[in-house]
Structure 1
Amino acid sequence: MTLPAPDRRTRRPVQISTAIPSRPALRIGRVSLVWRGRHVAVCGLLAAAAFLLLCVSLGRGDYPLSVPQVLEVLVGGGERLDRFIVLDLRLPRSVGALVVGAALAVAGAITQSLSRNPLASPDILGITAGAGAAAVALIVVTSGGSIVGFLAGLGLPLAALTGGLLTAFVIYLLAWRNGVEGFRLVLIGIGANAMLIALTNWMLVSADINDVARAQVWLTGSLNGAAWSQVAPAALALAVIGTWTLIAGTTVGALRLGDDTARSLGIRLHTQQGLLLAAACALAGIATAAAGPIGFVALAAPQLAVRLVRADGPPIIASALTGAVLVAGSDLIARTVLPVALPVGLVTSALGGPFLLYLLVRSNRKVSI
């Protein structure tokens, strides 16, 4: 589009181009997509890094295997002992690291998009703490013969999911005032997180020492003893909810622009906010049930993906791959690099703490300017 503008010397109108450069479109039949070359390249590199970390993790242990040996086993070959070690002993843990990291990252990308705040994530808002409190109640109370409401009949994964959803519902109601504003949501979530952590500590203090030991190992966020019974539900939830989130990508992008803009685009604001928040809580709750509360992955992975892709908001696929790389790499460091094997949650917290301080300082500078 061009607009006429007067020339100062001749007083004649000249044509000034105001055309906005657009991204090339990719058309496949009736489907039309926007081609983002950098996004595709970054996702490809992240996927390759995740697969490489998977192969390295499968080969590290008391019985070491090289990456070619691991690849041979994964394609159906290899010796019988190698297949047993890779497929039966190590694969559930390694796949669990990728699935849990991706689920937490997608949950963080959704909450940060809804609140339009980079500090909003399930572990900061108290959703992970709610899932952890419900799971700890199931561990330390029901084992002594008592029953905590209906949690005893649900099992650990459903108990953690129920705790996360209930916490998110309460936080959403408390933050509601003719809509949900990101800053108020974060403040209320921080308060709820502190109260739920205090409740969890009270249950640990008053419980039997053996139950406390079990719960404490789980609370640090550990993939030790991961089995397919824990990994499979998290993988299924990630596939279903992640696919739905990708389909709703246009809605997520509109919600980043503000409530008024989303309404003007024909989006049912409160309905979509509730559905997306429920999806984020489901992913965070199931990931917490599978590996315990692994801190700072949901906070850091979407923001790292934003910087890698150079997008306006947290991209879903890039965030999921970044989270998978973070958890898989942290688990590899916790198992093999450090002198003593540590839970993966301690490594992610050590790496995520400085990143949280960076986000706080950056946000404070933006407000000051």
Structure 2
Amino acid sequence: MSAGVRARGRADRVEFGRRTLVLRRGRAGLRIDLRSVVICTALFAVVIAVGLLALATGSYRLGAGQVLSALTGGESGLVHDIVVEWRLPRVAATIVFGAALGVSGAMFQSLTRNPLASPDVIGFSTGSYTGALVVILLIGSGYASVALGALVGGIATAVLVYVFAYRRGVQGFRLIIVGIAVSAMLGSVNTWLILKADLDVAMAAAAWGAGSLNAVTWDQVTIGGTVIVVLAVLAGLVSRPMRQMELGDDAAAAQGVRVGAFRLAIVVVGVALTATVTAASGPIAFVALAAPQIARRLARTPGITLAPAAWTGALLLGAADFIAQHVVPTPLSVGVITVLLGGGYLGWLLFTEARRRL
């Protein structure tokens, strides 16, 4: 299909500059970028391939036929338990949680118009960890209570960062600098809380704080996945005004966007996505930072788009967990691998941004 699409009943031709499909029904219309669809389909296929490989790999190796048979109900006994009960929750968590982190990072990078803005860099992930840690140390480790604590901690951190960064508006670079400072302070608070806790609880909290999927169960995947789906729908509803706000607050307001209300909605949804993941697996760094930018380069979109970022986040977390469990000599927490890979990506991103500004 050509880049321009002729509207029904009109002689003019709308040029989008990209291969675009426009679906119309009455006065409503939907524009679909074909390259983004192709990229999302390819990423989905790779994510499924990595997931199947993870299901077959481990101390008890399985063949592809056994894995597929277990997934379709054709296996029982030990093979079924290994695939469906032990390995599949972890694989499902990498897909769902990785997608959530990708969408969260895309929302904050679009909001601030800065590729360095992500919930782990500007402190929102650390705040969610602080809230979850307080609940774990004082109440217990139930998923619902930890998720609530992570959400409250993340939103409180977001409010704190915005208050400190506000100066006749909130600029992206100032928000990042303030967020890094707040994150450093909260990191000290988290260390103090762990040092003051009982030894067994402190060791469990410290291991969980490295970002780990070892303790993920079907309950966490089901509850967290349901919450993430709802939040993803809300993210989709604010995606259009979010793209309009990338042009600047004044330009967005001129197009009828209620900038203040939508900015608040973007922050709440983005923090809630991060908090949901943090409550189940601890803070997993750099996936939210890298996924939106990699997706933008793959899809070659002018701005940040949510769907490619979600599938890129799922692929990054799935690949990182596979490396952590099956490639390195000793199994590690997935957060260790994402920090190693993400640190190199962050260095490259800082270098390219500095060259671009010279």
Common topology (TM > 0.5): yes
CA distance in 2, matches of 1:289, 1:342: 19
CA RMSD after TM alignment? 2.0
CA 1:196/1:78 → structure 2, altered by over 3 Å: closer, same or farther? same
Q: In the TM superposition, what is the alpha-carbon distance from 1:174 to its structure 2 partner?
A: 2.1
Q: In the TM superposition, what is the alpha-carbon distance from 1:185 to its structure 2 partner?
A: 0.8
Q: Is it true that 1:76 corresponds to 2:73 in the alignment? A: yes
CA distance in 2, matches of 1:277, 1:156: 20
2:186 to 196, 206, 222: 196
Q: Which amino acid in the other structure matches residue 36 of structure 1?
A: D
Given the two structures, how large is their TM-score scaled by the length of structure 1? 0.89
Q: Is it true that 1:91 corresponds to 2:88 in the alignment? A: yes
1:15 paired residue number? none
| Aligned residue pair count | 344
CA distance in 2, matches of 1:28, 1:261: 27
Q: Is it true that 1:304 corresponds to 2:291 in the alignment? A: no
Q: Which amino acid in the other structure matches residue 251 of structure 1?
A: P
Q: Which amino acid in the other structure matches residue 26 of structure 1?
A: V
2:126/2:154 contact within 8 Å kept: yes
1:233/1:286 contact within 8 Å kept: no
CA distance in 2, matches of 1:362, 1:126: 23
The within-5 A match list for 1:27-106 is 27=23, 29-30=25-26, 31-106=28-103
CA distance in 2, matches of 1:211, 1:156: 14
SS of 1:35's equivalent?
strand
CA distance in 2, matches of 1:325, 1:359: 20
1:265 paired residue number? 255
Q: Which amino acid in the other structure matches residue 52 of structure 1?
A: A
CA 1:355/1:20 → structure 2, altered by over 3 Å: closer, same or farther? closer
Q: Which amino acid in the other structure matches residue 320 of structure 1?
A: A
Identity %: 38
2:285/2:338 contact within 8 Å kept: yes
1:247 to 211, 216, 237: 237
1:96-137 C-alpha deviation (Å, 9 max, x unpaired): 111111111111000000000000000001110011112222
Q: Which amino acid in the other structure matches residue 358 of structure 1?
A: W
Q: In the TM superposition, what is the alpha-carbon distance from 1:158 to its structure 2 partner?
A: 1.1
CA distance in 1, matches of 2:251, 2:19: 23
SS of 2:22's equivalent?
strand
Q: In the TM superposition, what is the alpha-carbon distance from 1:152 to its structure 2 partner?
A: 9.7
Q: Is it true that 1:328 corresponds to 2:324 in the alignment? A: no
1:147 paired residue number? none
2:108/2:117 contact within 8 Å kept: yes
1:26 paired residue number? 22
CA 1:234/1:328 → structure 2, altered by over 3 Å: closer, same or farther? same
Q: Is it true that 1:275 corresponds to 2:265 in the alignment? A: yes
SS of 1:223's equivalent?
coil
1:288/1:294 contact within 8 Å kept: yes
Structure 1 gaps of 5+ residues are: 1-18, 144-150
SS of 2:347's equivalent?
helix
1:97/1:331 contact within 8 Å kept: yes
Structure 2 gaps of 5+ residues are: 1-14
